[in-house]
Amino acid sequence: MTLTPRSRLSEVAAQVAKALEDAGIRAVLTGGACASLYTHGSYQSSDLDFVLQRAVSAAALDAAMTGAGFTRQGNQYVHPQCAFFVEFPRGPLAIGSDYRIQPVEYRVRQRVVFALSATDSCRDRLAAFYFWNDRQSLRTAVSIAIRHRVDLNTIRKWSAAEKHQFGFDEFLAEIARARIRRSRARGA
């Protein structure tokens, strides 16, 4: 797969995941890029965040990313033909205070991208809402929840552990409103 200015985020994720896998580097797609996949692009991210699953030297990471056509510029990797850039935020992989994250295999064509599950991507967006009052992240979490089966009980328990039960209640109310809007739009 060759990246071009028209490459979609999912294609960039697959290309990077393949280059990392070929180099023996395991990383998990997180953050806004993961949310973009689960919202089918209704949420747009300009970068892809991969959290490394074990220590990797800068030289090894640079070599792997060069194999995908990316070069390092500071803390970012950029591609001359692609609008998206890639970052490797410091690990470990966590959502709030939960470090027991189990990545899933997200398939893009025949390639596997290790990513947060839909439930964990939803929690990741809710963390931004809970901790920074980011309303866009709340809307994105709702968008994920109405498009995918998410484990609301897991999200409820995590929200309570993070001391954000009221935020979870608002999340549920927004899901209900979104479902009503969706059913009205289908009926119109």
pTM: 0.94
Q: Which of 64, 65, 90 is nearest to 78 (CA)?
A: 65
**Mean pLDDT across the stretch 135-153?**
97
pLDDT at position 9 over 80: yes
pLDDT computed for residue 185 by the predictor: 87
CB contact at 8 A, 68 and 15: yes
- In this structure, how many other beta carbons lie within 10 angstroms of the beta carbon of residue 156? 15
pLDDT computed for residue 1 by the predictor: 72
Q: Which residues contact 145 (CB under 8 A, 6 or more apart)?
A: 122, 152, 171, 175
pLDDT tens digits for range 126-138: 999 999 999 999 9
Residue 101: exposure state from Cβ atoms within 10 A (0-12, 13-18, ≥19) = middle
pLDDT at position 188 over 90: no
pLDDT at position 158 over 70: yes
Q: Which of 95, 111, 112 is nearest to 150 (CA)?
A: 95
pLDDT tens digits for range 104-117: 999 998 899 999 99
pLDDT tens digits for range 59-83: 999 999 999 999 999 999 999 999 9
pLDDT band with cut points at 50, 70 and 90 for residue 163: very high
pLDDT computed for residue 21 by the predictor: 96
pLDDT band with cut points at 50, 70 and 90 for residue 187: confident
Q: Which two tokens stand for residue 38?
A: 């689960």
Across the chain, what does the average pLDDT equal? 95
pLDDT computed for residue 35 by the predictor: 97
Element (H, E) at 7: none
